[in-house]
Structure 1
Amino acid sequence: MIPLGGIGEIGRNMTVFELDGKILVVDCGVLFPEEHQPGVDVILPDFGYLRDRMQDVVGIVLTHGHEDHIGGVPYLLRLREDIPIFGSALTLAFIVSKLKEHRITAQTQVVAEGQRVKIADFDLEFIAVNHSIPDALAVLIRTSAGSVLHTGDFKMDQLPLDGRLTDLRAFSRIGEEGLDLFLCDSTNADVPGFTPLEKDIGPVIENVISRSKGRVVVASFSSHIHRVQQVVDAALANNRKVALVGRSMVKNMQIASELGYLKAEPETFVDLKNAISMPQDQVVYMSTGSQGEPMAVLSRMVNLEHEIEIGQGDTVILASSLIPGNENAVYRVIDGLTKLGANVVHKGNAKVHVSGHAAAGELLYCYNILKPKNVMPVHGEYRHLIANGNLAQQTGVPSERVLITEDGWVVDLVAGKADIVGAVECGLLYVDGKTVGKITEDDLKDRRILAQEGFISIFCVIDAQTGRIASGPEIRARAFAEADHVFDDVKPLIERAMAEAAAEGIRDTYAMQQVIRRTIGTWVAKAHRRRPMIIPVVITY
């Protein structure tokens, strides 16, 4: 087993299982960039380990339809398009829709809880688990080397909105059969007790809408069908229509409605154009953008760049959790909406969202039921993995049988014993526009410097025979607070440094550029305490 993403982070979940030269992939998601990764669209798992072995991949199993578990599939299928994909009906509907945008036709096979499928020498059994999206599945992988249970994302809501419980009877049966390795969701392992019930959110949303006199905007993930259902029910209870806003929200809810996961009459909805012309106390806007994404609906409202104009007396409900790393962006959106006069309701001041992940109390139940021989916490930042491992030890799993890993670490399961035996190269794969994997950390460093420190270019014409400056230096700056005349002080320094280089016989263009870069870099650091990007251009004649 090799995790290629999802260890030490919330996102880009992907684990490969290899047996007798054949590879099974479980999940292939994306991670959304943070502020220190400017220009990046999404971050993928590192496919490097698979790139030369794509013919050995026998299948991709998707546990559920969230972006951090399925968003990377189109990029993986670019390497080989005919890999069979296994998942629940809703999960596959979401991924097929996504693949159409990439002009990829996939081989898919719908599976359901209780079903067993044989892929090469991997014997898979699918188990119902409860999550914040319908149709989530855990997968038990039986092999000649042992058995592995991968939970995907899950919790143990005892009164779920769709009536679909996490199948603890199946967990009990697996425990009695004997489980060699448990890969367990760690996201809420450091949260004591039990995750609150989803059903408690609906009345809160309905109450907020009933007290709102103006327009109401509710923002959530475009895949959170349960939350959208609650908003639809609350809108109907208050004699309001629902307008879906955001391309992914419209697309996903159309899929959910067609498959019967979203239950609402067609007349419940109104398109955005008509909604804007309606009295605003008769409509609820259900939108994306709850994570403060710059181009998403809420951010555009804050910047007054959207058809929906937020004003005094309006209500905005952020009905989702904060993904780690998005805090600053979300708080900026909240501040912007408040400044426009809106009443902003969020998880911090009202019970408008509950997590989709099991808290510590639920995880303890799982460990006691399954009695796994080995445990490998997955899906979480490092503190979550440690907390999950500690829970396993409290239930009797020996500390040496709890494997805290990192992306790329290789875990061998032999005769019921799991050990970390090595590592493969595993980094971050950046998607930037149409390019995949070409952006490096050095590129991102350059972008951060440009954003924070500015840009200075220096142009010189050098006599190839003498090495002395024939024209220049001409200096121009961008995003540098000082006026161009401040560089008058450094020009004599550059001329002196170039004369000394010429006296030493330096004629190589690159070497002369480095002389200029060092000279102006030292000066600007001392004189202005700045470290801008410096681009010297030297032409010889």
Structure 2
Amino acid sequence: MPNVVVDPPALTPGTLRVVPIGGLGEIGRNMTTFEIDGKILIVDCGVLFPEEHQPGVDLILPDFTPIRDRLKDVVGVVLTHGHEDHIGAVPYLLRLKQDIPLIGSGLTLALIEAKLKEHRIKPYTLEVKEGQHEQLGPFSLEFVAVNHSIPDALAVAIKTTAGTVLHTGDFKMDQLPLDDRITDLRAFARLGEAGVDLFLVDSTNADVPGFTPTERSIGPVLDAVIAKAPRRVIVASFSSHVHRVQQVLDAAHEHGRRVAFIGRSMVRNMGIAADLGYLKVPEGVLIDSKQAANLPDNRIVYMSTGSQGEPMAVLSRMANLEHQIEVGQGDTVILASSLIPGNENAVYRVINGLTKLGANVVHKGNAKVHVSGHAAAGELIYCYNILRPKNVLPVHGEYRHLVANQQLAIQTGIPERNTVIAEDGTVLDLVDGRVSVVGQLDLGYVYVDGSTVGGITDADLKDRRILAEEGFISIFAVVDPLTGKVIVGPEIHARGFAEDEKVFDAVKPQIIKALIDAADNGTRDTHTFSQVIRRTVGRWVNSSHRRRPMIIPVVIEA
């Protein structure tokens, strides 16, 4: 059940107010604001990708309403890492005020700067590294190395007069990472000794027992699959998964194959990673996609986007025979990523389409070709025991993940009253080492639909679903407003409802009678006549055909 909207009280001096704007109850839109003494710090500003019940939507943004009129008070945006669900909404925030400083690691800032360039925005940035301290207004920040499925991820400790908050961002505790950069548990322990008043912790894998397998375990599997592949290999992954791309490059090089990047975001992001030294490209292994077409099938690996079944991504277009690379018998397709909740149907549709074309599709369900970038239950328990935080706010996850994370905290001895299961818009105040819920904002989804931002509502999406699922009926009639008599029509046209429009002959007399009855009862305006037609056709189509199409009546006065 959604929380009841409650306006929070005015913020008192010396109290830290924490508001998750996105990322709670969903995998995406991660954004949290921290406010004290009139200044605001934002951690992350990401997007959520649409599901099947949101047709036509490109991206979903956090609702900036709570800070829209207070952007002059924002001292900066800390970006924990370079994944879209943490940086993707930054361009839309900076459209409102371009000089808000962005703080992050080298790779994270390089990825967001490339994205902002497409929006013609040149940001103010501050590059930071693990172990670095920065003062932004009343916020004293310390950055801590954490391990994730993208290099250069950072947790951030936020120290204020109200207490210390530790935000993990996305993290895991891979002890054998490909870049040898482990989660800095010594820093966690030091912060824990000093006292962590509020711990915001990644919940994505809180319901997964044990420990997340190491990234290094994937290399041999990818190597074996590529070694056995008789023809072309197509690997689909997130366009920012540098570690996985590195493993593909190494395996391809080992077996005498060349690699071509497919997809604009893949080409852009891997170019950035290579330029900054995060991606080590073996000599001569990387080629342009046009050159790849001239190589023998058993000498090429395509590295593409589309592992989540996104309709416009490369892999989906391949499955639909809408891409210049035509998948066929003997090709091997590797889906090297986890399924984001909500994407299952889309992904399996792509798998079925590729299999039907003759490809051997290798995915997490039948081979160990991906490990998660998020800490499982065993790792989270370690963190709780090391930090011993006074209060816990599980973040980044669906409701079940948040609750599972809360239970882990309670198992380690943190009192249940000191754990908070919040939702987007929950207002929490930290004062004197205690966290309390003081309000609930009414925040919604902000849809990006082509060039439109925020213009599409849930009602619009409902109309789109009705059009897609139930069809469309239009009725045109010229009516004498005095008598209700139909002078011309009613003409009825349908799309996606019935092939033979003669089926509507049965309802036309009902429309004519209903209009005359309405006129007899005093109706004289075309709007009310339109509503009469809508109700009449709606009742008929529901009772006779068990359908609820969109009905658009057009009435013109004679």
Which residue of the partner structure matches residue 525 of structure 1?
A: 542
Cα deviations by residue, 1:46-67 (Å, 9 ceiling, x for unpaired): 1111111111111000000000
**CA–CA separation in structure 1 for the residues paired with 2:126 and 2:283:** 30
**CA–CA separation in structure 1 for the residues paired with 2:24 and 2:321:** 39
Cα deviations by residue, 1:366-406 (Å, 9 ceiling, x for unpaired): 00000000000000000100010000011110000000000
CA RMSD, aligned part only? 0.7
Structure 2 counterpart of 1:263, one-letter code: K
Task: Report deviation, 1:340.
Answer: 0.7
Which residue of the partner structure matches residue 37 of structure 1?
A: 54
**CA–CA separation in structure 1 for the residues paired with 2:123 and 2:94:** 8
Structure 2 counterpart of 1:302, one-letter code: A
Which residue of the partner structure matches residue 63 of structure 1?
A: 80
Matched, 1:339 2:356: yes
- Out of 139, 160, 165, which is 1:122 matched to? 139
Task: Report deviation, 1:307.
Answer: 1.6
Unaligned runs of 5+ in 2: 1-17
Between 463-472 and 279-288, report the one with greater CA deviation: 463-472
Task: Report deviation, 1:268.
Answer: 1.4
Which residue of the partner structure matches residue 205 of structure 2?
A: 188
- Out of 291, 295, 301, which is 1:284 matched to? 301
**CA–CA separation in structure 2 for the residues paired with 1:309 and 1:246:** 15
Contact 2:168–2:200 at 8 Å: present in 1 too? yes
- Out of 377, 393, 410, which is 1:360 matched to? 377
- Out of 16, 34, 50, which is 2:33 matched to? 16
Matched, 1:267 2:301: no
Task: Report deviation, 1:295.
Answer: 1.0
Structure 1 counterpart of 2:399, one-letter code: Y
**CA–CA separation in structure 1 for the residues paired with 2:364 and 2:480:** 67
Cα deviations by residue, 1:451-505 (Å, 9 ceiling, x for unpaired): 0000000001112343322111110001113411010000000000000011112
Task: Report deviation, 1:266.
Answer: 5.3
- Out of 134, 137, 140, which is 2:151 matched to? 134
Which residue of the partner structure matches residue 438 of structure 1?
A: 455
Matched, 1:413 2:430: yes
Matched, 1:48 2:71: no
**CA–CA separation in structure 1 for the residues paired with 2:186 and 2:289:** 45
Cα deviations by residue, 1:88-136 (Å, 9 ceiling, x for unpaired): 0000000000001111110011000000000010000000000000000
Q: Percent identity?
A: 71
**CA–CA separation in structure 2 for the residues paired with 1:306 and 1:452:** 27
Contact 2:166–2:200 at 8 Å: present in 1 too? yes
- Out of 405, 410, 427, which is 1:393 matched to? 410
**CA–CA separation in structure 1 for the residues paired with 2:522 and 2:393:** 62
For the residue of structure 2 that corresponds to 1:268, the secondary structure is: coil
Q: How does 1:218-237 map to 2 (within 5 A)?
A: 218-237=235-254
Which residue of the partner structure matches residue 506 of structure 1?
A: 523
How many residue pairs get aligned? The number is 541
Cα deviations by residue, 1:331-376 (Å, 9 ceiling, x for unpaired): 0111111111111100000000000000000000000000000000
Which residue of the partner structure matches residue 455 of structure 1?
A: 472
Which residue of the partner structure matches residue 466 of structure 1?
A: 483
**CA–CA separation in structure 2 for the residues paired with 1:406 and 1:213:** 49
Structure 1 counterpart of 2:78, one-letter code: V
Structure 2 counterpart of 1:56, one-letter code: D
Matched, 1:207 2:224: yes
Which residue of the partner structure matches residue 350 of structure 1?
A: 367
**CA–CA separation in structure 1 for the residues paired with 2:42 and 2:276:** 26
Structure 1 counterpart of 2:140, one-letter code: D
Contact 2:482–2:519 at 8 Å: present in 1 too? no
Task: Report deviation, 1:27.
Answer: 0.2
For the residue of structure 2 that corresponds to 1:76, the secondary structure is: helix
**CA–CA separation in structure 1 for the residues paired with 2:398 and 2:504:** 47
Matched, 1:322 2:339: yes
Matched, 1:145 2:156: no
- Out of 285, 292, 303, which is 2:320 matched to? 303
Structure 2 counterpart of 1:402, one-letter code: T
**CA–CA separation in structure 1 for the residues paired with 2:295 and 2:318:** 18
Between 458-467 and 501-510, report the one with greater CA deviation: 458-467
Contact 1:74–1:102 at 8 Å: present in 2 too? yes
Contact 1:134–1:261 at 8 Å: present in 2 too? yes
Contact 1:517–1:534 at 8 Å: present in 2 too? yes
- Out of 101, 115, 122, which is 2:118 matched to? 101
For the residue of structure 2 that corresponds to 1:99, the secondary structure is: helix
User: TM-score, normalised on structure 1?
Assistant: 0.99
Contact 1:85–1:108 at 8 Å: present in 2 too? yes
**CA–CA separation in structure 2 for the residues paired with 1:334 and 1:279:** 25
Matched, 1:429 2:446: yes
For the residue of structure 1 that corresponds to 2:217, the secondary structure is: helix
Contact 2:477–2:555 at 8 Å: present in 1 too? yes
**CA–CA separation in structure 1 for the residues paired with 2:307 and 2:56:** 20
Structure 2 counterpart of 1:509, one-letter code: T
For the residue of structure 1 that corresponds to 2:284, the secondary structure is: helix
For the residue of structure 2 that corresponds to 1:175, the secondary structure is: helix
**CA–CA separation in structure 2 for the residues paired with 1:233 and 1:383:** 38
Query: Structure 1 runs of 4+ off > 6 angstroms?
Result: none
For the residue of structure 1 that corresponds to 2:420, the secondary structure is: coil
For the residue of structure 1 that corresponds to 2:41, the secondary structure is: strand
Q: How does 1:80-95 map to 2 (within 5 A)?
A: 80-95=97-112
Contact 1:49–1:425 at 8 Å: present in 2 too? no
- Out of 158, 167, 170, which is 2:184 matched to? 167
Task: Report deviation, 1:423.
Answer: 1.3
Contact 2:158–2:166 at 8 Å: present in 1 too? yes
Which residue of the partner structure matches residue 535 of structure 1?
A: 552
**CA–CA separation in structure 2 for the residues paired with 1:354 and 1:464:** 69
For the residue of structure 1 that corresponds to 2:556, the secondary structure is: strand
Unaligned runs of 5+ in 1: none
Structure 2 counterpart of 1:23, one-letter code: I
Contact 2:311–2:317 at 8 Å: present in 1 too? yes
**CA–CA separation in structure 2 for the residues paired with 1:246 and 1:449:** 32
Contact 2:253–2:282 at 8 Å: present in 1 too? no
Matched, 1:383 2:432: no
Contact 2:484–2:517 at 8 Å: present in 1 too? no
Contact 2:81–2:108 at 8 Å: present in 1 too? yes
Contact 2:481–2:526 at 8 Å: present in 1 too? no
Task: Report deviation, 1:263.
Answer: 0.4
**CA–CA separation in structure 2 for the residues paired with 1:431 and 1:449:** 20
Contact 2:249–2:282 at 8 Å: present in 1 too? no
Matched, 1:155 2:172: yes
Structure 2 counterpart of 1:253, one-letter code: M
**CA–CA separation in structure 2 for the residues paired with 1:264 and 1:277:** 21
**CA–CA separation in structure 2 for the residues paired with 1:474 and 1:308:** 47
**CA–CA separation in structure 1 for the residues paired with 2:504 and 2:525:** 25
